Chains A and B, each alone.
Chain A
Amino acid sequence: MDLKIKAWRQKNANSKGGFENYDVQNITEDSSFLEMLDVLNEQLLGEGTEPIAFDHDCREGICGMCSLFVNGRAHGPDTEITTCQLHMRKFKDGDTITIEPWRSGGFPIIKDLMVDRTAYDKILQAGGYVSINTGGVPDGNAIPIAKIDSDEAMDAASCVGCGACVATCKNSSAMLFVSSKVSQLALLPQGKIEGKRRAQAMVAKMDELGFGNCTNTGACEIECPKGISIAHIARLNREFLFATCKD
Chain B
Amino acid sequence: MTKLNSKIPEGLVAEKWNNYKAHQNLVNPANKRKLDVIMVGTGLAGGAAAASLGELGFNVKVFCYQDSPRRAHSIAAQGGINAAKNYPNDGDSIYRLFYDTVKGGDYRSREANVYRLAEVANDIIDQCVAQGVPFAREYGGLLDNRSFGGAQVSRTFYARGQTGQQLLLGAYGALNRQIEAKTCTMYNRTEMMDLVVVDGKARGIITRNMITGEIDAHFGHAVVLATGGYGNVFFLSTNAMGSNGSAAVKAYRKGAMMANPCFVQIHPTCIPVHGDFQSKLTLMSESLRNDGRIWVPKNIEDAVAIREGKKKPTDLSADERDYYLERRYPAFGNLVPRDVASRAAKERCDAGYGVGTGQAVYLDFKTAIERLGEDKIRERYGNLFQMYEKIVDDNPYQTPMMIYPAIHYTMGGTWVDYELQTTIPGLFSAGEANFSDHGANRLGASALMQGLADGYFVLPFTVQNYLADELHTPRMNVDEQKEFIETKEAVKAHVDKLMNVNGSRSVDSIHKQLGHIMWENVGMARNEAGLKKAIDEISSLRKEFWNDVKVPGTADSLNPELEKANRVADFLELGELMARDALHREESCGGHFREEHQTEEGEAMRDDKGFTYVAAWEYKGADTPPELHKEDLKYEAIEVKVRNYK
B173 A124 Cβ-Cβ under 8 A: yes
Find out whether the CB atom of A130 lies under 8 angstroms from the CB atom of B141. no
Q: How far is the CB of A175 from chain B (nearest CB, A)?
A: 19
How near does chain B come to A162, taking the closest CB pair, in angstroms?
Answer: 10
B174 nearest in chain A by CB position: A129
10 closest A-B pairs by CB: A144-B141, A129-B173, A137-B130, A154-B134, A134-B52, A140-B129, A63-B71, A57-B240, A153-B134, A125-B176
| Interchain CB contact under 8 A, A125 and B126 | no
With A45-B561, A50-B552 known to touch, is A31 a contact of B55 (CB < 8 Å)?
no
Judging by beta carbons under 8 Å apart, are B275 and A147 in contact?
A: no
User: Which of A59, A117, A132, A138 is B67 in contact with, Cβ under 8 Å?
Assistant: A117
Q: Let me know if A217 is at the binding interface, CB within 8 A.
A: no
Q: Determine the chain B residues whose CB is within 8 A of the CB of A27 once the complex forms.
A: 277
Interface string of A120-162 (1 = CB under 8 A from B): 1100111011111111011111011111001101100110110
> Given the interface contacts A87-B391, A137-B127, does A63 sit within 8 Å of B73 by beta carbon?
yes
Please give, as numbers and ranges, the residues of chain B lying within 8 Å of A133 by CB-CB distance.
52, 55
How far in angstroms is the closest Cβ of chain A from B70?
6
Residues in B95-137 with C-beta less than 8 Å from chain A? 123, 125-132, 134-137
Asked if A38 and B506 sit within 8 Å, CB to CB, the answer is no
Which of A34, A110, A137, A138 has its CB near the most chain B CB atoms (within 10 A)?
A137
Task: Type the 1/0 row for A1-37, where 1 means its CB is closer than 8 Å to any CB of B.
Answer: 0000000000010000000000000011011101100
Inside 8 A of A191's CB, which chain B residues have their CB? 132
- B67 with A55: CB separation less than 8 A: yes
Segment of B29-37, B162-170, B255-263, B620-628 engaged in the interface with chain A:
B162-170
User: Cβ of A200 < 8 Å from any Cβ of B?
Assistant: no
Interface residues of A (CB under 8 A from B): 12, 27-28, 30-32, 34-35, 38-39, 42, 45-46, 48-51, 53, 55-65, 78, 80-81, 85, 87, 89, 110-111, 114, 116-118, 120-121, 124-126, 128-135, 137-141, 143-147, 150-151, 153-154, 157-158, 160-161, 184-185, 188, 190-191
B391: which A residues are within 8 A, CB to CB?
32, 85, 87
Cβ of B164: which chain A residues have Cβ within 8 Å of it? 62
Question: B321 at the A/B interface (Cβ < 8 Å)?
Answer: no
With A110-B211, A191-B132 as given contacts, are A45 and B552 in contact (CB-CB < 8 Å)?
A: yes
Q: Is residue B472 contacting chain A, with contact meaning CB distance below 8 A?
A: no
B residues within 8 A CB of A184?
132, 134
For B87, what are the chain A residues with a Cβ–Cβ distance below 8 Å?
A: 141
List chain A residues, Cβ under 8 A from B539: none
| Chain A residues within an 8 Å CB radius of B240 | 57-59, 63
Contact, CB under 8 Å: A125 / B180: yes
Structural contact, B162 and A62, CB atoms closer than 8 A = yes
- Can you spell out 14 A-B residue pairs with CB atoms less than 8 angstroms apart? A45-B552, A51-B561, A61-B390, A62-B162, A63-B66, A121-B186, A124-B172, A129-B132, A133-B55, A134-B456, A143-B130, A145-B137, A146-B137, A190-B129
